[in-house]
Structure 1
Amino acid sequence: MTDVKDKVARLRRAYAPHEHRPLGGYLVSMSSYAAVTAALAGLVKATGRQVPERPATADVVLLGIATHKLSRLLAKDAVTSPLRAPFTRYDRPIGSGEVIEQVRDQGSSTRHAIGELLSCPFCLAVWVATGFTGGLVLAPRLTRLVATGLTAVAASDFLQLAYAVAQRAAEGGGRDDED
């Protein structure tokens, strides 16, 4: 085991000699993802569920929007910050109920890698999409229901932002007419 750790440490130093990159933590993260994916595949096989040859376009769109919303909710929402707190440090709010957090550099490389994963909606989307995809095979009705709810929230978010932009334009337009 020490030999493997030494090799990983040498590889990390060769890969990024001037910056800390938690390659060991990334390996743990990738291994965890592979294990979750394998477990989903095993569950699909054990239950005898049929995997669709080609997912319906409507499902792809629904899950795509739901993946965006759930990934963003988990990675950036102020309310979900307790989930990220062991791995990140609060920096500042960025509006619309979202926060910016910094990954904690102290501690293990696994903690750092998890912090990067949990605070990055793009990184987290792979995990969320995998869960939704497995759910679509294992429990399609429930998965579509949950995805529909998240898609409705995403649509509402965009409408709230559009409304705020329109409101600012109307207020700004009124001031320009008076000048």
Structure 2
Amino acid sequence: MVDIDSRTARAYARKAPDERPLRGYATVLGAFAGAAGVVAGVARLMGRELPTRPAAGDVALMALATHKISRLITKDAVTSPLRAPFTQFEAAAGESELNESPRGHGARHAVGELLTCPFCTGVWVAGGLAAGMVFAPRLTRFGMGVAAALAGSDFLHLAYDAAKKQASAD
């Protein structure tokens, strides 16, 4: 892992060094790399091989599932107890979503940033789904299908609400 000393951290974020927890980020990156290494090692020991070229349908399904699952983890009100040790509630944000901010210092702050950013969490979700495709492709495709259906349902709910508002405005 990269050693981030306090001098490097101060030089990197000279305007707000407390807001850039480089050691925390390095810890989170190390955890991701470690998990990916374990998955690759176990796959090799089990004789599992990566597909030469993922099917376009699997990529599309994974994209929709990653979108939905990452938003569920980072924004959904029901999953806020999972984020609460690392985040602070700011305000409601649209349909059944919350805005939260990271709290704490170091690794706690870095995890808080990860858990409030759907783009950041998406990397972890996609990695988990990719691992699932190696070890349990049938079950993983089923779960991705459920998540993709929920994503489609979300968009239909939003379109329905927009249509109702447009109709009442006319």
Provide TM-score, normalisation by structure 2.
Answer: 0.95
- The aligned amino acid for 1:160 is H
Residue 117 (structure 1) aligned with residue 107 (structure 2): no
TM alignment of 1:14-93, pairs within 5 A:
14-19=11-16, 20=18, 21-93=20-92
Unaligned stretches of 5+ in structure 1?
Answer: 174-179
1:171 alignment counterpart: 168
Quote the Cα distance in structure 2 between the aligned partners of 1:43 and 1:72: 29
Unaligned 5+ segments in structure 2 are none
Deviation of the 1:84 alpha carbon: 0.5
What is the one-letter code of the residue matched to 1:10?
Answer: R
Q: Which residue of 2 aligns with 1:99?
A: 98
SS of 2:88's equivalent? strand
Structure 1 runs (4+) greater than 2 angstroms displaced: none
- What secondary structure does 1:49 align onto? coil
Is 2:6 aligned against 1:12? no
User: Following TM superposition, by how much is the alpha carbon of 1:95 offset from its aligned partner in structure 2, in angstroms?
Assistant: 2.0
**Structure 2 counterpart of 1:167, one-letter code:** K
Larger Rg: 1
What is the alpha-carbon root mean square deviation over aligned residues? 0.9
- The TM-score normalised by the length of structure 1 is 0.90
Taking only the aligned residue pairs, the percentage that are identical comes to 49
Secondary structure of the corresponding residue to residue 79 of structure 1: coil
Q: Size of the alignment, in residue pairs?
A: 166
TM-aligned CA deviation for residue 50 of structure 1: 2.2
Corresponding residue SS for 1:149: helix
